[in-house]
């Protein structure tokens, strides 16, 4: 019986260590990039979206993405768009806790 309990504890320890290592190593969380892209492209003023990356746990997902806007857009407007993107993603996809939007001018 003692050996069985020791094996159970060893297995549980292995699973905990594996999950912790994934989080510590910023393993990508499976996320539907197309869904994120569709959400972002529906925000007025966004011209393109790329380099979508996710990391964390399924219930604590962090997203980084690059968004292209008109080069002539004022920084205040671009900043407001980034807030709209963050709120739209958080409200549409459960588990998202942080969204970092890198704003870029779209060059032709």
Tens digit of pLDDT for each residue in 72-86?
999 999 999 999 999
Is 49 part of any domain?
Answer: yes
In a domain, 12, yes or no: no
Residue 73 is part of which domain span? Answer: 27-105
Give me the helices (H) in the chain, please.
Answer: 2-24, 33-41, 75-92
Q: Is residue 20 part of a domain?
A: no
pLDDT, tens only, 15-59:
888 777 766 666 666 677 889 999 999 999 999 999 999 888 778
User: How confident is the model at residue 19, as a pLDDT?
Assistant: 74
Q: How many domains are contained in the chain?
A: 1
Q: Cα(99)–Cα(97) distance, rounded to whole angstroms? A: 7
Model's pTM, two decimal places?
A: 0.72
Of 106, 104, 42, nearest to 78 (Cα)?
Answer: 104
- 19 lies in a domain? no
Let me know if residue 87 belongs to a domain: yes
Q: How many CB atoms lie within 10 A of CB 69?
A: 19
Q: What is the pLDDT of residues 83-102, one digit of tens each?
A: 999 999 999 998 899 999 99
Q: Is residue 85 part of a domain?
A: yes
């Amino acid at each position: 019986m003692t050996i069985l309990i020791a094996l159970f504890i060893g297995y549980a320890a292995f699973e905990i260590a594996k999950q912790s290592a994934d989080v510590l190593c910023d393993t990508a969380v499976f996320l539907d990039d197309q869904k994120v892209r569709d959400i972002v492209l529906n925000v007025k003023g966004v011209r393109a979206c790329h380099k979508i990356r996710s990391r964390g746990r399924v219930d604590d997902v962090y997203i980084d993405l690059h968004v292209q806007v008109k080069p002539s857009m004022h920084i205040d407007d671009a900043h407001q768009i980034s807030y709209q993107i963050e709120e739209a993603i958080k409200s549409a996809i459960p588990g998202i806790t942080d969204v970092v939007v890198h704003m870029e001018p779209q060059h032709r």
